[in-house]
Amino acid sequence: MKKLILFALLMIACTAYSQENNKTSNKIIRLEKAALERWDHGDVNGYLELSAKNVTYFDPMLNKRMDGKERLAEYYRPLQGKIHVSAYKMIDPKVQASDSMAVLTFNLDSYVGKSVRRWNCTEVYRKQKDNTWKIIHTHWSYTKPALKP
């Protein structure tokens, strides 16, 4: 009988843990999609609002990692209103999380008219003191880029 009770308690704990993890995953994917959809409509502020002050950042247009939200804001500012992505497909998003940090990874197909740009994306989120999640690291890269010889 004791064993049965222990087993039941273990099952309840596992279910609660898994539900909590799912909740975090869903929340983070929701945050990312909301920022991405604003970006696709020309609004760079979705990602800026979601980024922490000490964010670190890679994309394939940069010579080196960029550090800090202020520099990222300067870098994004000229793009405001200039991006028009007609549709996107977020492929197989996956969240690997601890209590206070989480890494979201996915592939992205980004359509402008008939042409498609394919991306690899890594976003590291950290839970802030006010319990909101912010991006502390972003890495965008082209999926299997064809290089100049």
Interface residues toward a copy of itself, by CB under 8 A: 54, 56, 58, 60-65, 67, 91-92, 94, 96, 98-101, 103, 105-107, 120, 122, 124, 126, 136-137, 139, 141-148
| Shortest distance, position 19 Cβ to a copy of itself, whole Å | 19
If the CB atoms of residues 15 and 98 are measured against a copy of itself, the closer one turns out to be 98
Phi, psi dihedrals of residue 74, rounded to the nearest 5°: -60, -40
Nearest approach, Cβ of 2 to a copy of itself (angstroms)?
26
Kindly report the number of other CB atoms within 10 A of residue 98's CB atom.
10
**Six token digits for residue 34:** 């909301």
Longest dimension (CA), the chain: 71
Q: By C-beta, is 29 or 43 nearer to a copy of itself?
A: 29
What torsion, rounded to 10 degrees, do the Cα atoms 57, 62, 63, 65 define?
A: 0
Select 33 or 139, whichever has its Cβ closest to a copy of itself.
Answer: 139
